Structure 1
């Protein structure tokens, strides 16, 4: 029975959480078809007094956040050595957006504001050669669409990390940090409705950097390939867990 822990690193907008579900709810929905017996728990990291022991965890999913990794909030900094230990134990990990940037910073890279500004909307992402051969991302098309909403990014990948996906805005759309440790800048848990809601909140910021919010909203579409990564991650964790305990 694989045990997955969703590490919640912040709250969504109040209206998005009300109408569509907060980050952890979106993750749970995407994992609804996970292999039988998969157990999913949630750690609300900003509000947690302590971090749980890693002994009873088979996989970590680190969510997005409205916080900024470079602000080095105490709860966020406390996660870094915990993630380093999890990688040393070869616990499977998948970081998303903030989780992607946090993992990169924890493992020796640099995450901060993107010099070209915010990237939002449904955008095209391309796999690298390493991505096409990867056990998690390798089943995706060479080019696929994904929902994005970020102002910060991974500026420098950690030593030894492999770049699995990129696009014109961001050369680090997906990274592999170890045998079973991945992170992605895009949001596989977002639905089109959630993406449109985020664009609504970002309207002024996008206009200020020369974007056309109406065009971005019109281009929002379903992203089944990207969304399927969460379930694929759960399947990989399940398969590995059953082998280890056989």
Structure 2
């Protein structure tokens, strides 16, 4: 049976967690239609005493966070060599938002505050030519909508990384770091209600950078293409396990 580990890298806003579920709950819901024998566990990385061995893990899902990768908190820095080892073992990985930025930093790129400021709301993302051929993102339309909420970004992709998607704000909306290692800046686990709640929290910051938060809230829509990536990732991790001889 495929074994997925959600690496929780922080907590959502208290009211969002209460009303809609924290990050790991949103991931679990999006994975609810995965094969019945899929095992999903959660590692609360900021509070973990130690990181688990990778021997029995088929896929890692690294969540978003309100922390900042550039702040180099000890728990976050400890994840970097662990992720490098996971990539060396060709364990399937999907990093989301903070996870995207953390994977890029771990693999030799750089992540920091975006010079153009925050990107929030339901935005259009465009696949690159490589993205249209990619086993994970290739099933998406050439242009699709996704929920975004980030102040930091991948400024420099790691050596050897392949850019799979971009938009006017961010040249590195999705990256592939190896045969089965991906990361995306957007939030496939967010629902429209969660996106609206995040925008409500960000009203002042968005106004300060010249955005219209009420218009952004009104423009929130469902993002089934982006959300479908989580199930597709689970399927790819399961197929890889089936192809691996078991002891």
Q: Aligned partners of 1:34, 1:238: CA distance in 2, in Å?
A: 10
**Cα offset for 1:36?**
2.6
Provide Cα deviations, 1:178-227, integer angstroms capped at 9, x if missing partner.
00000000000000000000000000000000000011001000000000
Q: Aligned partners of 1:65, 1:177: CA distance in 2, in Å?
A: 21
Normalising by the residue count of structure 1, what TM-score does the alignment of the two structures yield? 0.99
Q: Secondary structure at the match of 1:26?
A: helix
Q: Does 1:69 align with 2:69?
A: yes
**Cα offset for 1:25?**
0.1
**Cα offset for 1:21?**
0.1
Q: Does 1:39 align with 2:55?
A: no
Structure 1's unaligned 5+ residue stretches are none
Q: Aligned partners of 1:96, 1:173: CA distance in 2, in Å?
A: 10
Q: Which residue of 2 aligns with 1:81?
A: 81
Q: Secondary structure at the match of 2:112?
A: strand
**Cα offset for 1:35?**
1.5
Q: Secondary structure at the match of 2:236?
A: helix
Root-mean-square deviation (Å)? 0.6
Q: Does 1:26 align with 2:35?
A: no
Q: Which residue of 2 aligns with 1:191?
A: 191
Q: Aligned partners of 2:86, 2:242: CA distance in 1, in Å?
A: 19
**Cα offset for 1:239?**
1.0
Normalising by the residue count of structure 2, what TM-score does the alignment of the two structures yield? 0.99
Structure 2's unaligned 5+ residue stretches are none
Provide Cα deviations, 1:87-125, integer angstroms capped at 9, x if missing partner.
000000000000000000000000000000000000000
Q: Aligned partners of 1:175, 1:185: CA distance in 2, in Å?
A: 9
